[in-house]
Amino acid sequence: MFKVISKLNNRKVSSKGLGVFRIAFFLNLFLEVLHRFQFRHLYYIPYLQSSILSKNIIWSVWFFVLVMLIIGFKTRILTIVNCIFVLAFIVNNRLFQDHMNYAYVGMGFLMMLLPVSKSYSIDNLILRIKYSSKKKLFIPDQLTSGFFYC
């Protein structure tokens, strides 16, 4: 068993699949949050009267976080912020529990651990600009461990 894990960890594969997955997952989550925002009076009936869920600024911050995650800007910090929003808004809702709630929580947690900013992200572009010079173009490592694809 240890040899199999070691073999997967030592094998380097392209991180472009993780980049595409990041974009697709957070786009899906953005559409779900948009749906919950439009129908928040139905999703959060007992909590809506005087709670923080009725404030549009909180929803706007979450939309901003999701857009930044889709384009790949500050992914490490914003995945933690997104996980807090998911736990506060989606998991706390006892009225509407479905299978996607667990997927959002699980994948949101895994996004904190996976190297999702190595491809198709603004973070990668910032690294290129930061370490490149006029004489030499810096290309960040876009390979990741094969263990992340298991």
Question: Could you report the per-residue pLDDT of 51-64, keeping only the tens digit for each?
Answer: 555 677 888 999 99
Residues pairing with 13 in the sheet = 144
Q: How many CA atoms lie within 13 A of 11 on its CB side?
A: 12
Helices (H), the chain: 2-10, 16-38, 40-43, 56-71, 75-85, 99-113, 122-131
Q: How far apart are CA 103 and CA 109, in angstroms?
A: 10
What pLDDT was estimated at residue 80?
95
Residue 101 phi/psi, 5-degree rounding, is -60, -45
What pLDDT was estimated at residue 69?
96
Distances (CA, A) of 52 to 56, 60, 92: 9, 12, 13
What pLDDT was estimated at residue 27?
97
Question: Region 102-126: what's the mean pLDDT?
Answer: 89
What pLDDT was estimated at residue 57?
85
Mean pLDDT of the chain: 82
Taking residue 27's Cβ as centre, other Cβ atoms within 10 Å add up to 14
With bands split at pLDDT 50, 70 and 90, how would you rate the model's confidence at 88? Answer: confident
